[in-house]
Amino acid sequence: MKHFEVPNGYRSNLISAIKQKRKEEDKLKKDFSPTLIDLGHLKFYLARHFGFCYGVENAIDIAYRTIEENKGKRIYLLSEMIHNPQVNEDLLKKGVQFLQDTNGNEIISLKTLTKEDVVIIPAFGTTLELEAKINKIGIEIQKYNTTCPFVEKVWNRGDQIAKKGFTIIIHGKPKHEETRATFSHAADKTPTLIVNDMEEAIVLGKFILGELPLTDFSTYFKNRYNESFDPAIHFEKIGVINQTTQLASDTQAISDYLKNIISTKFGKENSSEHFADTRDTLCYATNDNQSAVVGLLEQAADIAIVMGGKNSSNSSHLVELCERKLPTYFIDDANRIIDRHQIIRSNWITKQSELVNDYLPNKTPVSILMTSGASCPDIVVESVIRKIVSFYELDEKLEEVGAAWIS
């Protein structure tokens, strides 16, 4: 796999050593059991897979090279490159400016740009409409394109089924940058609709089967489909693709459900003609991280800590999985841990911050499950470990255990 130049400030010698050792022991990635950092009174269980993925490292590598190659020029990102506060703050400090917020609202007017400026496409990709506007200014936007290859893979899959006359159903969060980009690329080729979850998929199924009047379609799915979409004729052939960071089980359930709906309407023997076999379009990192959390949760523990940006979709789904079993704290930095008694966590649904008291159990030993999202630097994981270790005065023990991993 290609090697990327990622700033050392995002790396952790301890976490890198642990990952490398696990990789050597499990080259086929079939072992999803966690890694134990045993400090006696305090035990950390790290998920088998977590942290920076291929797409994120690719984006960081391109962004930092772009800065180095264009000194003296104005450099813009269409929006946050990835959903991680440390990385985005670092880019801002280096003079990079964001043209839009995460919802696509303009921060800097495109009218102020000139053909001498540099514009970077973020890892989520962007819409064809915005790309065209940047190109019209005279800026070669594809020159600095950090779109994740696995997002582009989804677009390619969409193109394939669009050419065969299928309507595309996107399982994704409608306001997420990646979903907006995927919708733009799909809608340029074929009728396209976004469904957020199984609840909406069930409503869609009722429209397909005629159990709900088509006159209500625009009310239920307002702003979720393109202008050419006609529910009276465009449910004859459908295929499902997704936002790459969704829960694998959710996407599979939605795909299976809609396939059954199509089988009911056209007959099971004809389903292949009316439902496209898109297979799973989740990226490898999303699959690995989610599978690793499933393996992590087999370990008995007191609490779980998930690290990642509050707007990070893949991180939020890891929190969702952990919360089903034990108290979980979603944080983006070690500074969210105030002391041994208080922590400020993000609510993965509302994105609001919540102060929680007595998050660490008053007993020994304390066992903590840990993982992080695909856009979270490993140094954040290490800093969180060190912060908690300091409360138990086990710093020397951590150095001893860490040295064994690094040697």
What pairs with residue 171 in β-bridges?
195, 242
What are residue 23's phi and psi, to 5 degrees?
A: -65, -40
Q: What is the rounded CA–CA span in Å between residue 33 and residue 9?
A: 28
Residue labelled with tokens 């998920």: 47
User: Which amino acid makes up residue 258?
Assistant: L
The residue written with tokens 């979409």 in the block is 229
d(CA 330, CA 134): 36
Tokens 């709906």 correspond to 261
Closest CA to 245 of 190, 309, 331, 297: 309
CB atoms within 10 A of CB 406: 13
Of 178, 200, 320, 382, which one is the catalytic site residue? 178
CA distances, 401 to each of 25, 137, 336 (Å): 19, 56, 25
For residue 199, the one-letter residue type is E
Query: Is there a contact between 177 and 234 (Cβ–Cβ < 8 Å)?
Result: no
How many angstroms separate the CA atoms of 394 and 237, rounded? 61
178 noted as active-site residue = yes
Q: Kindly state the tokens that stand for 39.
A: 């400090």
DSSP code at position 344: E
Both tokens of 145, joined, read: 């394109």
Element of type H or E holding 66:
helix 54-69
Closest CA to 366 of 23, 41, 30, 26: 41
Element (H, E) at 251: helix 248-266
Q: Which residues belong to the active site? A: 178
